[in-house]
Structure 1
Amino acid sequence: MMKNYASRKRILGLVALASVALTMIALLPALFGGETALQIRASRQGITVPDGFYVYQRLNAEGIHIKSITPDKNTLVIKFDSQEQSTAAEKVLRRLLPEGFDIAQLEQSSEWLSRISPHKQSIG
């Protein structure tokens, strides 16, 4: 009877461990990938960033799905669900916007770390 109890306890422990492992595997893409972003900023003084609604309309007309568009200081940050959408949007924006704008991919991989870190770190 004691041997049967220990065997059941071991099996339940393995099932719990397997459940945790599967959950971690399922959450990894959400932590390390998925969302990407572009940042548009004026490279010269006197130029203002394009209107977010205009950018949304133009990218939407090209079949590019946008997760969000947010003005941030003197920039426009556009978030996408995939790297493919972000790359396609960058090509369209380079063709669409006149000279004088910098369009760059933003690093999103460390953003989740800053959300869970209790201390803000500054470099420099």
Structure 2
Amino acid sequence: MKKSGCIGFIKRFRLGLLVVAVLVSLTLLLPALCHNDSTLQITVARERGSLPDGFFLYQLLEDRGIRVKSITPAKDSMIIHLDTPEQAQAAQLVLQHHLPEGYAILKSLRYSGWQWLYRPSTDEERLG
């Protein structure tokens, strides 16, 4: 009798640990999965155009009180990560006003909350 009671306790204990592990995982992953659209992507709208300098973009936004988390070059674009969606909206307006025509400045869904799951396309895998 005692042996089966001990085994039952161990099974319940393992099940409890599993439930706790799943809850902790969900608590940590949900904020990352539910992105808040605080990432902008700048692309060149015309052929043979060049992207703006990342340091120029950083200074432009920081001088206007918009805190930039990071600016990262990507394939044919610049990715700007900001703290909040409000800052992304303000940054989008500033960039549209100060950058010359020929740039597309959009909220980036590809690089926001799922960036850690991003897998390069076949074109991006071929380096060199």
Match of 1:71 among 70, 73, 89: 73
Return 5+ residue gaps in structure 1 as ranges.
none
Displacement of 1:112 in angstroms is 4.0
Match of 2:126 in 1: none
Distance in 2 (CA, whole Å) between partners of 1:79 and 1:68 is 5
Match of 1:61 among 35, 39, 63: 63
Do the aligned partners of residues 114 and 39 (structure 1) sit closer, same or farther apart at CA in structure 2, a change above 3 Å counting?
closer
Distance in 2 (CA, whole Å) between partners of 1:10 and 1:99 is 65
Aligned residues, how many?
119
Q: Deviations over 1:73-104 (max 9, x none)?
A: 54322123443332221122122223222111
Do the aligned partners of residues 35 and 8 (structure 1) sit closer, same or farther apart at CA in structure 2, a change above 3 Å counting?
farther
Match of 1:40 in 2: 42
Backbone CA RMSD of aligned residues: 3.1
Q: Deviations over 1:30-69 (max 9, x none)?
A: 2442574212223235653322111101211223222221
Percent of pairs with identical residues: 36
- Structure 1 position 49 matched with structure 2 position 51: yes
Q: Deviations over 1:1-52 (max 9, x none)?
A: 2354144224312321222122222222224425742122232356533221
Return 5+ residue gaps in structure 2 as ranges.
124-128
Give TM-score scaled by structure 1 length: 0.69
